[in-house]
Structure 1
Amino acid sequence: MLLLVSGASAVGKSTARMHARHLLDDTFENAELFTLGPIPAVPTIAWRQEQVEVAVVRAIALEAEGKHLLFAGDPVPLGEALAAPSADRIDIAACLLDVDEQAHLARLAQRGEPEELIPLHQGFAAWLRAHATDPGHVTEAITTDAWPEMRWDRWIGRGPGPEWAMTVLDTSRLAPEQVGAEVADWCRRAVAGEAPVFRAAWFKG
């Protein structure tokens, strides 16, 4: 299974991955974009989407060994994972790490984010929040300048419904260790079928 942890900047994705990996057994491998290959000087949306396919292919290989891939640390939306060319061959579960506006502003300030970029981070957080329940929400946010191999037809045109579901975790008041524990617990529940999962080739059903 591919276990995607998504979220905007400063919500705790990389930190969650680091803490969660110590709480999961060796049937869970973990990765983020920088572990899958070199990062270009100017990363693009198309490059990110190509790397998502690399993660999907790795998850498929791990599944043959009875293992899973926790893919966390980068702002990869659910829709990109589902549209990766090989995503019809693997079960995919997604967890959105969310944060309230006050906590988000505080974390961005702590990271020293340039003031002019803060509205962009806030806007992307709002988009991810909407994308978690509505696949039709401003789809051009990830389809513009996309990698040509992406299979958007799997979900573009769909509206909100029970078949479009992911776990949302509010990290606003959680310490890093707590977020890691919550993510590890979500991984176990997803593998056990106790959290929303997009089964391989779900879009054909």
Structure 2
Amino acid sequence: MLLVVSGASCVGKTTARLHARHLLGETYETAELSTLGPIPAAPTVAWRQERVEVAVRRAIALEAEDRHLLLAGDPIPVGEALAAPSADRIDIAGCLLDLSDEAHLARLARRGEPSPANQAFAAWLRAHAHDPGHLPEAVTTDAWPEMRWDRWVGRTPGPEWATTVIDTSSLGPAEAGEAVADWCRRAVAGIAPVFRAGWFAR
């Protein structure tokens, strides 16, 4: 299974992954895009999406060993993972790390990052987690040509479109890691929502 943790800047994606990997054991491999290959000087949306396909293929390879890939650390919406060319060959679960606006602004300020764009993207991710029809051009503009947007663009909200949301506003790093590790286990067990391979054709 490919387990994708998404979220805007400063929500704690990388930190949660680093804590979660010690709790998950050898059955899980963890990664972010920078661990899957070099990052170009000026990363583009198309580059990110092409690298997501690399992650999907890695997850497929791990599945043959009864293992799973936790991808966390980058702003990858679940829709990008689902549209990767090879994504129809593996189960994918999505988890959004979210924050209250107040907590997000505070973290952005500590890191010195511009807040309007980051907060707007956080709001989009929040909507995307429940509604595939919400402004898909946020990820389809300047996209990698191989992406299969037809799998979900144009869909309306429904039970088949489900993402787990974890509010990290009051969680410390270790607590966020525990929450992500727990989500991974629940997804693999079929308790948390999962997009089964080929879900879009059903």
TM range (shorter): over 0.9
Show the counterpart of 1:13: 13
* 1:99 equivalent in alignment to 2:99: yes
3-state DSSP of counterpart to 1:22: helix
Secondary structure of 1:3 counterpart? strand
2:194 aligned with 1:190, yes or no? no
Cα deviation digits, residues 125-150 of structure 1 (max 9, x gap): 00000000000000000000000000
Q: Does 1:134 align with 2:131?
A: yes
Q: What residue is the counterpart of 2:55 in the other structure? A: 55
* Corresponding residue pairs, total: 202
Residue 118 of structure 1 and its aligned partner are, at CA, apart by: 1.1
Structure 1 unaligned blocks of 5 or more: none
Equivalent residue for 1:156, pick from 145, 153, 158: 153
Q: Could you tell me which residue of structure 1 aligns to residue 162 of structure 2?
A: 165
Q: What RMSD in Å do the two structures reach over aligned CA positions? A: 0.4
Moved over 4 A (4+): none
| Alignment partners' CA distance in 1, 2:120 and 2:197 | 31
For residues 182 and 72 of structure 1, the distance between their equivalents in structure 2, rounded to whole angstroms, comes to: 13
Look up the match of 2:25.
25
Asked whether 1:87 is paired with 2:87, we answer yes
2:194 pairs with 1:200: no
Q: Determine the C-alpha separation between the residues in 2 that align with 1:139 and 1:193.
A: 27
1:112 to 2:112 alignment: yes
Q: Secondary structure at the match of 2:30?
A: strand
Structure 1 residue identity aligned to 2:8: A
1:75-113 per-residue CA deviation (whole Å, 9 max, x = no partner) reads 000100000000000000000000000000000011121
Looking at structure 1, the residues matched to 78 and 25 of structure 2 have their Cα atoms a distance apart, in angstroms, of: 25
Identity among equivalent pairs (%): 76
TM-score scaled by structure 2? 0.99
Amino acid corresponding to residue 75 of structure 2 in structure 1: P
Alignment-derived partner of residue 69 in structure 2:
69
Tell me by how many angstroms 1:157 deviates: 0.7
Distance of 2:172 and 2:13 partners within structure 1: 12
> Where in structure 2 are the equivalents of 1:24-43 lying within 5 Å?
24-43=24-43
SS in 2 for 1:19: helix
1:158, 1:27 → 2: CA distance? 34
